[in-house]
């Protein structure tokens, strides 16, 4: 027979713990932009105009547009996405690449997310579609033809007029 006896394990003496000071960090809520505040009103008022986007471009073109905007402003708000889409539409209006949406999006060295293929890995969100619809009927980028996120270290920053910086850190230029 096997007999098991238990020996009491010694209770370890408590180790002194260093005093830890925990600072409570409270983030201030980000105020919604004027576009986001009145978005439902704006979108309802522009229902018919928004439909023109789908009449003016093919599904393939729109899918590419949505993917590029999604990749450029992943996780960003509708306003920031609409600024990027506005730049694309402003370029079309200015006649870049004969006003061809696909040519504008696929042009060399224009969109980093196209150059590195990141746009192909995106899932299009409803916010991105809404932002593109909004940008199609209302230029939220104040006529900008360029944007970047280089903090002033780009050709555009050195050669063009700075207009504004959006919430995700894109600078916009004319």
Per-residue model confidence (pLDDT) at position 5: 42
Give the pLDDT of residue 44.
63
Mean of pLDDT values over 48-74:
92
The tokens for 172 are 């916009």
Q: What is the DSSP letter of 24?
A: -
Tell me the mean pLDDT in the region 1-11: 46
pLDDT reading at 102 higher than 60: yes
141 pLDDT higher than 80:
yes
Cα–Cα dist 62/101, whole Å: 9
pLDDT exceeds 70 at position 24: no
Map tokens 């995106």 to a residue. 122
pLDDT greater at residue 16 or residue 97: 97
Query: How would residue 31 be classed by pLDDT, with cut points 50, 70 and 90?
Result: low
The pLDDT of residue 23 is 43
Average pLDDT of the chain, as a whole number: 82
φ and ψ at 40, to 5 degrees?
-60, -45
The rounded distance, in Å, linking the Cα atoms of 75 and 87 is: 19
Q: In what order do the strands lie in the sheet with 162-165?
A: 146-148, 171-173, 162-165
- In angstroms, the CA 138 to CA 72 distance is 19
* Residue 6, pLDDT score: 44
Instruction: Inform me whether the pLDDT recorded for 11 exceeds 70.
Output: no
pLDDT of residue 41: 52
Q: Is the pLDDT at 172 greater than 60, yes or no?
A: yes
Q: What local confidence, expressed as pLDDT, does residue 12 receive?
A: 52
Query: 150-170 pLDDT, tens per residue?
Result: 888 889 989 999 999 999 999
């Amino acid at each position: 027979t096997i007999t098991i006896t238990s020996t009491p394990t010694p209770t370890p003496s408590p180790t002194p713990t260093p005093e830890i000071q925990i600072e409570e960090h409270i983030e201030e809520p980000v105020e919604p932009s004027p576009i986001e505040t009145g978005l439902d009103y704006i979108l309802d008022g522009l229902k018919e105009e928004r439909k023109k986007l789908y009449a003016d471009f093919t599904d393939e073109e729109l899918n590419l547009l949505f993917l590029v905007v999604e990749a450029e402003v992943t996780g960003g708000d509708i306003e920031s996405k609409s600024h990027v889409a506005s730049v694309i539409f402003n370029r079309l209006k200015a006649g870049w690449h004969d006003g061809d949406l696909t040519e504008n999006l696929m042009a060399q060295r224009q969109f980093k997310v196209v150059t590195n293929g990141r746009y192909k890995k995106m899932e299009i969100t409803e916010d991105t579609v809404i932002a593109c619809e909004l940008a199609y009927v209302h230029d939220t980028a104040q006529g900008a033809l360029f944007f970047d996120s280089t903090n002033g270290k780009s050709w555009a920053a050195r050669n063009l007029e700075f207009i504004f910086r959006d919430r995700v850190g894109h600078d916009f230029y004319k």
